A and B are shown apart, each in its own frame.
Chain A
């Protein structure tokens, strides 16, 4: 399982605290084995609420170990910014995928799956499937 690179996860939120906290939560729930790279890209470089393409690009570079990167975004400008960056083609690592997933549950599913050594498609699918986990 450790003989190949793990898929990286990037969490994009309007809030630095939200992105970091969800990253920490997901990492904690991934168990004690090898942990997939999880990077937070929240808020603006000045520490305000918002979205920063610079922070997103930096987080994606750091999360990229050669197996691809899965990006989760909370809402609004976070989603639109990542989509605009993907449309440009050269601002994010080549195998970067934005997944349509609930932010917290999707992050946990993605990090657990990626840490188990799953490939990009499986990690993206796991994050998206988190929408189907009903609570009631």
Chain B
């Protein structure tokens, strides 16, 4: 069973990973986007970490809702509403249970990913964060496998041609670069694997 503390540790670990890799995310985004993904994600996740310190949230659902809301209101780019929707929708799916099973968490994240797909209209292979998020969720409840699947998913976006977002304007020139959103999503699921390994 996973409690609010688990989700808080997950998001705090993600915030540290984003802080560490912010320059790399921005570098990826300068190749095919507008070079703000690292700074946007850093601003968002720093705000999430601060919000969770101020208002801890007593359930996994509440923590995810607060984190999602914070991302929507602080990021300033499309990754804000997209990551915000992923977490918020997952939080809503978990309701107010004090503890959730790994299967419940997987189902909730799946609902979040569905909402992201609906929001951005992206399909698998469009070179977006979903190319990382989907295989990671499919690998759950094996957290280590989910982290590995996320990293592979991000790597697999390199040859793809972007069909959504700012990078899609580049057409074929978007090929040969890792999608920045897929890269940041790999940090999110890498952090989840790390926190679960420490927990088990």
Interface string of A40-51 (1 = CB under 8 A from B): 000010001011
Kindly supply a per-residue 1/0 record for chain B positions 24-58, scoring 1 wherever the CB is within 8 Å of any chain A CB and 0 otherwise: 00000000000010001000000000000000000
Cβ–Cβ contact B165 & A76, under 8 A: yes
> Is B161 located at the chain interface by the 8 A CB criterion?
no
Within 8 A of A (CB), among B80-97: 80-82, 84-85, 88
B119→A83 contact, CB < 8 A: yes
The residues in B between 123 and 160 inclusive whose CB is less than 8 angstroms from any CB of A are none
Most buried by A among B40, B80, B115: B80
A87 at the interface (CB under 8 A from B): yes
Are B73 and A54 interface neighbours, CB within 8 A? yes
A87 and B76 within 8 A (CB): no
Which A residues are in CB contact (< 8 Å) with B120? 80
User: Per DSSP, are chain A's interface residues mostly helix, strand or loop, or mixed?
Assistant: helix
Write the chain B residue with the least CB distance to A45: B76
Q: Which residues of B contact A50 (CB under 8 A)?
A: 36, 40, 76-77
Contact across chains for A51 and B77 when beta carbons are under 8 A apart = yes
A28-52 residues at the B interface, CB under 8 angstroms: 44, 48, 50-52
Instruction: Verify if B72 is at the interface (C-beta below 8 Å from A).
Output: yes
Kindly state whether residue B173 has any CB partner on chain A within 8 Å: no
B100 near A: Cβ within 8 Å? no
Partner of B76, one of A44, A83, A88: A44
Which of chain B's residues have a CB closer than 8 A to the CB of A84? 72, 81-82, 84-85, 119
- Known contacts: A87-B115, A87-B119. The answer to whether A81 contacts B72 by CB under 8 A is yes
In the complex, B166 has a CB within 8 A of chain A: yes
Number of residues of chain A lying within 8 A (CB) of chain B: 16
Q: Complex formed: what's the CA distance from A81 to B82 in Å? A: 8
- In the complex, the answer to whether A53 meets B119 with C-beta atoms within 8 Å is no
Most A Cβ at <10 Å: residue of B72, B81, B82, B166: B81
Contact B166 A81 (CB under 8 A): no
Instruction: Given A53-B73, A54-B73, A88-B88, verify A81-B165 contact (CB < 8 Å).
Output: no
Closest residue of chain A to B84 (Cβ to Cβ) is A84
Asked whether A77 and B76 contact (CB < 8 A) given A84-B84, A84-B85, the answer is yes
- B78 interface contact, C-beta 8 A: yes
Distance to closest chain A CB from B37 (angstroms): 11
- For A51, the chain B residues whose CB sits under 8 A away are 76-78, 80
CB pair A76–B81 under 8 Å, yes or no, is: no
When chains A and B are docked, how far (Å) is the Cα of A77 from the Cα of B81?
8
**In the bound complex, do residue A81 and residue B80 qualify as a contact, i.e. CB atoms below 8 Å apart?**
yes
Q: Name the interface residues of A58-91: CB closer than 8 Å to any CB of B.
A: 76-77, 80-81, 83-85, 87-88
The 6 closest A-B pairs by CB, nearest first: A50-B76, A84-B81, A77-B78, A80-B81, A81-B81, A80-B78
Binding site for B on A (CB under 8 A): 44, 48, 50-54, 76-77, 80-81, 83-85, 87-88
Which B residues fall within an 8 A CB radius of A?
A: 36, 40, 72-73, 76-82, 84-85, 88, 115, 119-120, 165-166
Q: Identify 8 residue pairs between A and B in the complex whose beta-carbon atoms are under 8 Å apart, listed by A's number.
A: A52-B73, A52-B76, A53-B73, A53-B81, A76-B78, A77-B79, A83-B81, A88-B88
